[in-house]
Structure 1
Amino acid sequence: MIVLAGGVGLFATNTYVTTSLMPSAIDDIGGVELYAWTMTVFVVAAVVSSMLVARSLALLGSRTSYVGGFAVFAGGTAIAAIAPTMPVMLVGRGIQGLAAGLLAGLGFAVVRLVLPRSLWQRAVALMSAMWGVGNLSGPLIGGVFAQVGLWRGAFVMLAGIAVLLGWLSARVLPPRAGAAEAVEPIPWTALALLAVAALAISVASIETDPIMVAVMMGGAVVAAGAFVLRERTAQVRVLPSLVYHGSSPLRWIYLSILLLTLAVTIETFIPLFGQELGGMSPLMAGFYGAAISWGWTVSAVISSNVASARGKRIVRVLGPLFISAGFLSLGLLQTDSAPWPVILGWVVSLFVAGCGIGMAMAHWLTAGLQVASGPGTGEAAQVSAGMNTTQLIATAFGSALAGLLVAVGGPSLLGSARVLSFSYVLVGVLAVGAALREFAVVRAMARGSGGAAGITPDRTNG
């Protein structure tokens, strides 16, 4: 289980290490205009590699897949560690993303292949807990190394951990577990369209010519539209066909998950704002950047006790309202050379937004699983996997969008912080709309034939 959890933990820790030390890296190697690209490139690569999990297991087996994944991650991290410029850093981040997406997906896929059924729940719980570990260890590792002026050392440490986990994988995993699994085709066209859309937004964030910005944003819209059209007609899809089924609530469940995940991507820039506007040390800025995730974790535990259908519906609407309130407060409190009472207000605002994400996300994920388990869906595995894919897509687009908003608010960093915070208020508003629409679809299903998606109102909403 250490190996399976290690892949997820490496993904999570790397995420928070990078956001914590990136301001220091920018000071050293430059490339502030490519700041958001460090996350966008990583996640776009992870989206692509997450589609290769089944194929990797079928062709290589669990041992080779894991050893290869950790080796590639170590290589990408080493490139990031020695990067003399930001473009080289992005190459390393892209390689990291390819490995991280594969490793995170392998963890959940290999559980049933290498562990007895009695340990499945414990293993899944351990892997899920790795995000909490990353939330604590990432800012600590990144912040400490940045604090002492050795940000490259954090990447060296991550590369060493990857090598250690690769060695452990070679010793404990069976060589061919999963080799007999069927291999499904990969939706390369749809994946390429997603990548083009996300990268077009990222390019727009570094353009200074308004015409080129408009061209890039137009290209992103066209690519996203082409992705939807491709998904509706293709035999092999990124997302399950139920998303495009008019009578299914799954599209609204996925949209809600996407918007909630999108809200998290604001934390890409939070450590930078903390250092530049609040005068925080790299270590403190790293933990400040994780305030959203702390709120997510706390509220997810508390809201898991909500059991009634009505209570779950309330939580799924209340969560986005918390998100909007938190980001509105954050925007209003933004100021240069902020005193500690104001900084405390920033932390509270982010924590409130994180609470909104956590309280709603758990119930939307459960609703998705209930669609997957409903009779007649025929796509149980795809529906479940699609939720993870949706979160990766949201992170890729959210990171790119955050970079664009920061550029729009510039050249003043204070202006960037305000534009980013106020813009993300809209994310919560849209999430409320998606929730209300899902409730309406479920009610319509109950009044009609009921069960086009194999569910009942009680099962999706409670």
Structure 2
Amino acid sequence: MTDTHTVSTSPGWGELLSGGNLIRSIALSGGVALHAVNLYISTTILPSVVREIGGMDYYAWNMTLFVVASILGAALSSPVLAHVGPRGGYGIAGLIFIIGTLVCTMANDMPIMLVGRLVQGFGGGILLALAYAMVRRVYVEQLWPRALALLSSMWGIATLLGPAVGGVFAELGLWRGAFLVLVPFAALVVLAAVFVLPQREPGRSPGEPLPLTQLLLLTLAVFAASWGGVGKDLSSIAIGMAAALVLIVLLVLVERRSNCKLLPRNTFRLPAALGSLYSTSALLAGTVTCTEIFLPLFLQELHGRSPLQAGYIAAVMSAGWTAAAISASGFQARRRVIAVHAGPVLSVGAMVILAAALPWAGQIGDWLPLTLICGALVVGGAGVGLAYPHLSAMVLRVAPPDEADNAASSIMTVQLCATAFGAALAGLAVNLAGGSTSSGGIDVANAARWLFITVAVAPAFCLLIMNSASFTQASERYR
């Protein structure tokens, strides 16, 4: 339940981070931070893991299985919420995450590590989605934008903390300790949730049956896209991407006809306000994913940066996202809508600059292209930060009351899907644009150029969606 004290028309951060709301904010943002920090810790220590326990052939599967399990966990969070309530949901998700983390800590070969990552991702996905579902339950509506900005900012903070924590343990040769430090953090999040979140509401329906068919199709589509994105030849790439496309089409058809929904009803029926909001959110999230995956590689290969330097230059984008999300969270009325429309414009401009500046190394000194790169990353991150929290708040505003929990938890399902498919498409763009040089490597400069030209299409498409009747309708309700 929300606090009963009066909240001003434009409440500040003090009202979100004081009294009972402070513990609520710790519980919800902690769940998001736990998942996000774990993601960046894992990518940092993975080379050390492989050196000790082997399994280089399954290197990429650490991320693929984690993201797929996170998608499944996020998609199942609404039934979990309906059956056991917020307090029970956090307890179950936290316990699953801790079990998976301990399995990773004790792994002595890669198959065991992959099992741990799968369990970790499932528990973390539930925590992520529950955090968004809880916003409308535990805060008054005036605080929704700030609460959502707080959750969004956890990804930027994780980008800074994850590599640092993972790097320290990797340097000490204690990569298992990097996983182990997450256990008390997870226990603290669950403890805070137990104290401040409500139990299952008496008389509340336990929810509909699980959308198992849609979940199976979604999982297969992610695997197909991932396989196609790293294909060694054009035939495997074409087969993987074609299979992913067919599976997505089947998913949409099944979702439209099924009584058991993965996303809120009418999401795929035009005109659909929720569908336009989810699409815009996914495209913006995919912009960040595609940038962050390959940017460290390009900075090392083209600009001679060390792995640590490249990692923290890439983190500038998340810093821009976090700063903009926090700054824009207090916008009211028309300023909110302006911020949402400005986001994709800034992102398009940033991607164009990156496409020009990243291949431009050593021609008139490295300081100028690096300055342009850092500036573009700040602008691109700010574009997403301006729009994303308000898009999430718009979802909460326009969702049918009887599907509010599913609509809120689906915010994270959609973002995780964008992460998975964005990673696959980024790999595809790099493979096709980089090609093979006479020395057997890839043309990194050409790969960088065409990757960001391709990525620029995503925020550009957001602008088309924002001109649709369904999006305009959602915007009017949010003012």
Normalised by the length of structure 1, the TM-score is 0.80
State the alpha-carbon separation in 1 of the partners of residues 136 and 181 from structure 2.
Answer: 31
Residue type of the alignment partner of 2:314:
G
User: Is the Cα–Cα contact under 8 Å of residues 205 and 403 in structure 1 kept in the other structure?
Assistant: yes
| CA apart distance, 1:200 | 0.9
State the alpha-carbon separation in 1 of the partners of residues 201 and 250 from structure 2.
Answer: 34
State the alpha-carbon separation in 1 of the partners of residues 299 and 107 from structure 2.
Answer: 24
> Structure 1 residues 98 and 154 mapped into 2: Cα distance closer, same or farther (>3 Å)?
same
Give the structure 1 partner of residue 443 of structure 2. 415
Within the candidate set 348, 353, 363, 1:321 is matched to 348
> 1:393-446 deviations in whole A, cap 9, x for unaligned?
111211233344444436677635752562343333343234234314259x8x
Q: Per the alignment, in what secondary structure is the counterpart of residue 242 of structure 2?
A: helix
User: Is the Cα–Cα contact under 8 Å of residues 316 and 435 in structure 1 kept in the other structure?
Assistant: no
**2:204 is aligned with 1:181:** yes
| CA apart distance, 1:99 | 0.6
| CA apart distance, 1:98 | 0.2
Q: How does 1:47-446 map to 2 (within 5 A)?
A: 47-84=71-108, 86-109=110-133, 127-163=151-187, 165-166=189-190, 168=191, 172=195, 176-178=199-201, 180-182=203-205, 183-266=207-290, 267-274=292-299, 280-304=305-329, 305=331, 308=334, 311-312=338-339, 314-333=341-360, 342-372=369-399, 379-408=403-432, 409=434, 415=443, 418-419=446-447, 422-441=450-469
Q: Per the alignment, in what secondary structure is the counterpart of residue 359 of structure 2?
A: helix
State the alpha-carbon separation in 2 of the partners of residues 319 and 14 from structure 1.
Answer: 29
Residue type of the alignment partner of 1:348:
G
Give the structure 2 partner of residue 448 of structure 1. none
Give the structure 2 partner of residue 451 of structure 1. none
State the alpha-carbon separation in 1 of the partners of residues 288 and 141 from structure 2.
Answer: 34
- Larger mean CA deviation between 309-318 and 201-210 belongs to 309-318
Residue type of the alignment partner of 2:323:
V
> 1:108-153 deviations in whole A, cap 9, x for unaligned?
445677x686998687665455334323322221232234444333
> 1:26-71 deviations in whole A, cap 9, x for unaligned?
5656666655443332222112112332433444455554333223
> Structure 1 residues 24 and 307 mapped into 2: Cα distance closer, same or farther (>3 Å)?
farther
Q: Per the alignment, in what secondary structure is the counterpart of residue 209 of structure 2?
A: coil
Q: How does 1:2-13 map to 2 (within 5 A)?
A: 2-13=26-37
State the alpha-carbon separation in 1 of the partners of residues 143 and 353 from structure 2.
Answer: 37
Which structure 2 segments of 5+ residues have no match? 1-22
Which structure 1 segments of 5+ residues have no match? 446-454
> 1:290-336 deviations in whole A, cap 9, x for unaligned?
2221121223344554853783475144133234224313543468x
| CA apart distance, 1:192 | 1.0
> Structure 1 residues 14 and 178 mapped into 2: Cα distance closer, same or farther (>3 Å)?
farther
Residue type of the alignment partner of 2:322:
T
State the alpha-carbon separation in 2 of the partners of residues 400 and 290 from structure 1.
Answer: 21
State the alpha-carbon separation in 2 of the partners of residues 171 and 253 from structure 1.
Answer: 32
> Structure 1 residues 420 and 250 mapped into 2: Cα distance closer, same or farther (>3 Å)?
farther
State the alpha-carbon separation in 2 of the partners of residues 157 and 272 from structure 1.
Answer: 28
- Larger mean CA deviation between 182-191 and 210-219 belongs to 210-219
> Structure 1 residues 365 and 325 mapped into 2: Cα distance closer, same or farther (>3 Å)?
farther
> Structure 1 residues 65 and 334 mapped into 2: Cα distance closer, same or farther (>3 Å)?
farther
Give the structure 2 partner of residue 449 of structure 1. none
State the alpha-carbon separation in 1 of the partners of residues 344 and 248 from structure 2.
Answer: 27
State the alpha-carbon separation in 2 of the partners of residues 343 and 21 from structure 1.
Answer: 27
Report the count of equivalent residues. Answer: 445
| CA apart distance, 1:14 | 1.2
Identical residues among aligned pairs (%):
36
State the alpha-carbon separation in 1 of the partners of residues 321 and 179 from structure 2.
Answer: 26
State the alpha-carbon separation in 1 of the partners of residues 304 and 451 from structure 2.
Answer: 24
State the alpha-carbon separation in 1 of the partners of residues 203 and 424 from structure 2.
Answer: 39
> Structure 1 residues 27 and 410 mapped into 2: Cα distance closer, same or farther (>3 Å)?
farther
Residue type of the alignment partner of 1:181:
R
Q: Per the alignment, in what secondary structure is the counterpart of residue 245 of structure 2?
A: helix
Q: Per the alignment, in what secondary structure is the counterpart of residue 242 of structure 1?
A: coil
Q: Per the alignment, in what secondary structure is the counterpart of residue 241 of structure 1?
A: coil
> 1:181-234 deviations in whole A, cap 9, x for unaligned?
322222111111111011112223444354333222221111111111111211
> Structure 1 residues 430 and 275 mapped into 2: Cα distance closer, same or farther (>3 Å)?
closer
Superposition RMSD in Å: 3.9
User: Is the Cα–Cα contact under 8 Å of residues 129 and 411 in structure 2 kept in the other structure?
Assistant: no
> Structure 1 residues 328 and 116 mapped into 2: Cα distance closer, same or farther (>3 Å)?
closer
Q: Per the alignment, in what secondary structure is the counterpart of residue 460 of structure 2?
A: helix
- Larger mean CA deviation between 249-258 and 40-49 belongs to 249-258
